[in-house]
Chains A and B, each alone.
Chain A
Amino acid sequence: MTEMLTMFKADGSAPDFNGALDDKALVHCYRTMLMVRAFDDICMKLQRSGRIGFSIPNKGVEATQVGAASALRATDFFFPSYRDFGMALHHGAKPVDMMHNMFGNASDSARGRQMSVHFSFTDPVRFFSISSPIGTHLPHAVGAAYAAQALGKDDVSLASFGDGGTSSAGFHSALNLAGVWKAPVIFLCQNNGWAISLPSSGQTASDGYAIKAKAYGMPGVTVDGNDLLAVNQAVGDAAKRARGGEGPTLIEAYTYRMGGHSTSDDPTKYVPAEELEKWAKKDPVLRMQRFLDKSGLWDEKLEEKLLTECADEVAQAAKVAEATPGPTLETIFSDVYETLPLHLRRQGEQAFDLAERKGGADAGGGAFPL
């Protein structure tokens, strides 16, 4: 593994921090990390109580998500994986909008068509619609970066993916294209130790992931993914390079997935307990808290306030989302194309007709408006 960038010292200080985040921004980062945890916690409860079907926990990787987001603008283009929503929260996405997706209801931006955790935002942050296949979004980030450059904008793209994603065709194709095109894109590999049950050692024989950058003609940087300031600096440096026309960067954030792959996964079957204990000591939220404390920006009172705010907001979000009706039958047929083609109109009409004659299907109370 290439040398790892770390900012936090054991005592919580960060003497080498470049000051890219002011006090307010630092506290906002911390709050976002707590919000990710609060959102995860309530989703786990909602899933276990059968009110939502599925969730993806983020415990352990919050500093990577939030650190990266804090180094970029909301107008930059985020191409996330399904374990990245802290990036959206950081730039103002509302927990209630995310919760609509978790419930797959009528207010979900995807109208309940996607599984939960597959968020999509255009406002207040460009957070690209999440896809389940691994690595397919990396070429998108490169194309978007090419377009930004061609249109004379200084936006950068960030593609975020796990260590598993580096084995995909998309990883190779995207890094190769980005290198050749000198596209303003940042590849953020979150090496969190696991791709569902496959340890990173089974994913690649290379010495870490950052080293792969060399073959694509771009810098590769390894950063302590549980150190928000280090991630902020690495992504900030890469963004500066990208905006300056110097091309792409591959960043490996060395971190650890402290929960299961998803609520459907039982990590106790394959994660060694001692490994988990080792990483628990490097909990990214606690490390950030220690830094803020050391910097005079944190006390118990703030902690209590933030925890209460986050817990209240996600609880309220869940309440609202659960009370929001499901999508209407019409939404099966809309948004396939901009204009509804005849054959889809007919299929929709048949579905509505059947619902009327035989019942059994909930038409959502709406007339077929198409």
Chain B
Amino acid sequence: MRTLTLLQAVNDALHTKMREDERVTVFGEDVGPKGGVFLATEGLTQEFGKQRCFDTPLSEDGIVGAAVGMAVNGLLPVCEIQFQDFIFPAFDQIVSEAAKLRYRSGGQYTAPMVIRTPYGGGIRGGLYHSQSGEAYFAHTPGLKVVIPSTPHDAKGLLIAAIEDPDPVLFLEPKALYRSVKGEVPEGRYSIDLSTVRTVREGSDVTVFCYGAMVPVCEKAAAKAAEGGIETHVMDLRTLLPLDEEAVLDAARRTGRVVVVHEAPRFCGYGAEISALIAENAIEYMEAPVRRVTGFDTPFPNTLEHHYMPDERRVLDAIEGVASF
């Protein structure tokens, strides 16, 4: 099977769906002939024409708002926000419009649409090209929030997102765009939007992570194994709706849990995982849940490697809960 980067897998998913369904329409800043600042949409305008893949003015709320309008009138919009840091002008459109439309109209109007956006650190992007805003959006009923960590998942999840009847925020870990490679099948396949992925089996400690933290946790788990700690690594990949049963099963399996994300800790996604376990599996727990996260500060530029959880910090947490 052919091997693609995560970025190529995203591009492949878009090509696949656009070939299959002429309603699929891609737009955003610089996504047209240039193919996007990361080249995720490379070749789409050339293959499908400028009516189906085109550049927009620099207007995030306009992009997402127009996507809602396209979705209610027969297209399947897949819009791009160039960096997740720039999504906040569109917060109103995502949270108050797209996510609530089905509910507030009793299903008369729905917004099957995808908002793709690169998120996270690791590219020396500073405050405004590095943020991880998943928790803001995972707090939004009516929205789905997806974060792939492998090329295979990126394609399968993006296809599922495009085919989903509800609005999906598809957060792409830009640190992994070119750094991970993997086998990606040709043609259409999809991955259910409420499933987690077991990255590594282990019986001593369970680590929950997603996006760019997955390879970090894999490395930490490999290191932990050298010290005799077997780590069970779960890629949450669909943050909303979450496969809560799978999370609880994995937590019960070891009774020792570490949650890892780049985003700040306070009210971060890890707090939800921790609370879920506390409410439903406390009797299985051998140690307090430990969170390894970004700091509760804005995202720094020069010192980003200290801000982002690394193998060192994850390993320290794994050892900490293992020996509790």
Contact = CB atoms under 8 A, between A and B. Distances in A.
A59 interface: no
Interface stretch (B6-14, B103-111, B129-137, B209-217): B103-111
A142 B106 contact: no
Contact of A129 (B75, B109, B141, B243): B109
A21 B242 CA distance: 55
A177 B56 contact: yes
A128 B144 CA distance: 23
Q: Which of A121, A131, A139, A151 has the most CB of B within 10 A?
A: A139
B72 interface: yes
A71 B233 CA distance: 62
A32 B245 CA distance: 55
Contacts of B52: 150
Contacts of B200: none
Interface stretch (B33-41, B63-71, B223-231, B255-263): B63-71
A45 to B, nearest CB: 26
Interface residues of B, number: 48
Interface stretch (A8-16, A109-117, A228-236): A109-117
A277 interface: no
Interface residues of A, number: 48
Nearest to A148: B73
Contacts of A139: 61-62, 64-66, 68-69, 93
B318 to A, nearest CB: 28
Contacts of A122: 108-109
B62 A174 contact: yes
Contact of A114 (B65, B104, B109, B144): B104
Contacts of B106: 108-111, 113, 120, 335
A262 to B, nearest CB: 18
A27 B70 CA distance: 35
A79 B101 CA distance: 13
B109 A128 contact: yes
A77 B74 CA distance: 12
A139 B63 CA distance: 8
A111 to B, nearest CB: 5
Contacts of A108: 106
A336 B107 CA distance: 9
B201 interface: no
A145 B69 contact: yes
A121 B109 CA distance: 9
A143 B69 contact: yes
B108 A129 contact: yes
A131 B245 CA distance: 35
B72 A176 contact: no
A338 interface: yes
B89 interface: yes
B73 A143 contact: yes
B73 A77 contact: yes
Interface string A121-141: 110000011010100111111
B70 A146 contact: yes
Contacts of A338: 102, 107, 110, 165-166
Given A335-B102, A336-B141, A128 B72 contact: yes
B296 interface: no
Nearest to A339: B165
A144 interface: yes
Contact of B69 (A157, A169, A176, A343): A157
A341 B241 contact: yes
Contact of B57 (A118, A177, A335): A177
Nearest to A77: B73
Given A114-B104, A120-B104, A150-B75, A133 B96 contact: yes
A113 B77 CA distance: 27
Interface string B241-254: 11111000000000
Contact of B241 (A133, A144, A157, A337): A337
CB-based closest 6 A-B pairs: A143-B69, A139-B65, A173-B62, A143-B66, A341-B241, A129-B105
Given A122-B108, A140-B68, A170-B65, 10 more contacts: A109-B106, A118-B104, A120-B104, A129-B109, A139-B66, A147-B73, A148-B73, A151-B73, A177-B56, A336-B102
Interface of A: 77, 79, 108-111, 113-114, 118, 120-122, 128-129, 131, 133, 136-148, 150-151, 155, 157, 169-170, 173-174, 176-177, 180, 335-338, 341-344
Interface of B: 25, 51-52, 56-57, 59, 61-62, 64-75, 77, 89, 92-93, 96-97, 100-110, 141-142, 144, 165-166, 194, 241-245
